[in-house]
Amino acid sequence: MWSDNETAVDLLSVKHLVGAVTGTICNDRVLPATIGIFGDWGSGKSSLVKMVTKEFEGQDDVLCLTFNGWLFEDYEDAKAALMGTIIDEIKEKRELTAKAKELIKNLIKRVDWFRLAFLMTKHAVTYMLAGTAGNLFLSATDLVGAAKGIPEKVRNLKPSDVTGIKEKISATKIEDLQGITKDPADSESVRKNIRDFRKDFEELLKQTKVKILVVFIDDLDRCLPDTVIETLEAIRLFLFVPGTAFVVSADEKLVEQAVERKFPDPSGRGELSRNYLEKLIQFPIRIPSLGRSEVKTYMNLLFAELRLKTDFDALIAKVPTAGDGGLWDIVVDRAWFEQNLGVIPQELSEDLLMTQQIGDVLAETLYGNPRQVKRFLNTLLIRMGMAESRGLSLKKRILAKLMVLEYKRPTDFKTLAQRQAQEEGKSKDLRLLEDRAAGVMSLRSTTKSNADQKDSIIAQELVSSEFGFWLEDKWLLNWLKLEPKLGGEDLRPYFHVSRDKIGTLLGPIIQLSNDAQSVLGLLISDSEAQRVKGFEKIKELPQDDALNVLEVLGERALASETTETVSVIIKAAEAQPLLINKAVSILRNVPESRISLGIPIQVVHLKKLSTGGIHLIDQLLQKWSESVENHALQQATANALKRK
Q: Fill in the DSSP letter of residue 513.
A: P
User: What confidence tier does 506 reach under pLDDT thresholds 50, 70, 90?
Assistant: very low
Among residues 538, 535, 517, 556, the alpha carbon closest in space to that of 257 is found at 517
Highest-scoring range by mean pLDDT, 255-264, 321-330, 408-417: 408-417
The mean pLDDT value for 102-107 works out to 87
State residue 165's pLDDT score: 45
Using alpha carbons only, give the angle 261, 263, 269 rounded to the nearest 5 degrees.
85
Measured CA to CA in angstroms, residue 163 lies from 120, 131, 158, 567 at distances of 11, 21, 9, 54
Among residues 93, 342, 62, 102, the alpha carbon closest in space to that of 215 is found at 62
H-helix segments, 281-369 = 292-307, 312-316, 334-341, 346-365
State residue 133's pLDDT score: 30
What b/e sequence results for 283-319 when a residue is b if at least 16 CB atoms lie within 10 Å of its CB, and e otherwise? Answer: bebebebbebbbbbbbbbbbbbbbbbeeeeeebbeeb
What b/e sequence results for 26-56 when a residue is b if at least 16 CB atoms lie within 10 Å of its CB, and e otherwise? Answer: beeeebbbbbbbbbbebbbbbbbbbbbbebb
Radius of gyration, CA atoms only, the chain: 31
| pLDDT tens per residue, range 172-191 | 444 454 444 443 334 455 66
- Whole-angstrom distance, CA of residue 116 vs CA of residue 161: 12
> pTM for this one?
0.71
- Whole-angstrom distance, CA of residue 426 vs CA of residue 413: 15
- Whole-angstrom distance, CA of residue 368 vs CA of residue 293: 10
**CB of 344 closer than 8 Å to CB of 334:** yes
The mean pLDDT value for 360-386 works out to 86
Measured CA to CA in angstroms, residue 2 lies from 236, 302, 303, 375, 510 at distances of 39, 8, 9, 9, 20
| pLDDT tens per residue, range 18-65 | 999 999 999 888 888 899 998 888 888 888 999 999 999 888 889 998
Q: What percent of the chain has pLDDT over 90?
A: 7
Listing from the earlier edge strand, what are the strands of the sheet with 212-218?
62-68, 212-218, 244-250, 33-38, 283-286
- Whole-angstrom distance, CA of residue 241 vs CA of residue 243: 6
Measured CA to CA in angstroms, residue 28 lies from 33, 57, 550 at distances of 10, 19, 51
Mean pLDDT of the chain: 76
Using alpha carbons only, give the angle 325, 329, 330 rounded to the nearest 5 degrees.
75
| pLDDT tens per residue, range 309-362 | 777 878 888 887 654 444 445 678 888 888 888 888 888 888 898 898 888 888
User: What confidence tier does 399 reach under pLDDT thresholds 50, 70, 90?
Assistant: very high
H-helix segments, 409-563 = 410-422, 428-439, 453-463, 474-481, 492-496, 499-504, 514-523, 528-538, 543-559
Task: Please give the single-letter amino acid code of residue 157.
Answer: L
Q: What share of the chain is helix, strand, coil (3-state, %, to 5)?
A: 65, 5, 30
The mean pLDDT value for 400-419 works out to 86
- Whole-angstrom distance, CA of residue 374 vs CA of residue 5: 11
SS (H, E, C) 370-382: HHHHHHHHHHHHH
The mean pLDDT value for 199-219 works out to 89
State residue 186's pLDDT score: 41
Q: 280: burial class by Cβ within 10 Å (0-12, 13-18, 19+)?
A: buried
- Whole-angstrom distance, CA of residue 525 vs CA of residue 518: 11
- Whole-angstrom distance, CA of residue 354 vs CA of residue 398: 9
Q: Does 553 or 169 have the greater pLDDT score?
A: 553
| pLDDT tens per residue, range 428-474 | 888 888 888 877 444 444 444 444 455 555 555 555 566 767 777 77
Q: 98: burial class by Cβ within 10 Å (0-12, 13-18, 19+)?
A: exposed
484 preceded by a cis bond (ω within 30 of 0): yes
State residue 213's pLDDT score: 92
State residue 20's pLDDT score: 92
**CB of 419 closer than 8 Å to CB of 427:** yes
Query: Any idea how long the chain is?
Result: 644
Among residues 510, 516, 495, the alpha carbon closest in space to that of 386 is found at 495
Highest-scoring range by mean pLDDT, 71-75, 116-120, 136-140, 545-549: 545-549
Taking the CB of residue 394, how many other CB atoms lie within 10 A of it? 18
Measured CA to CA in angstroms, residue 32 lies from 214, 215, 232, 279, 330 at distances of 10, 11, 14, 13, 38
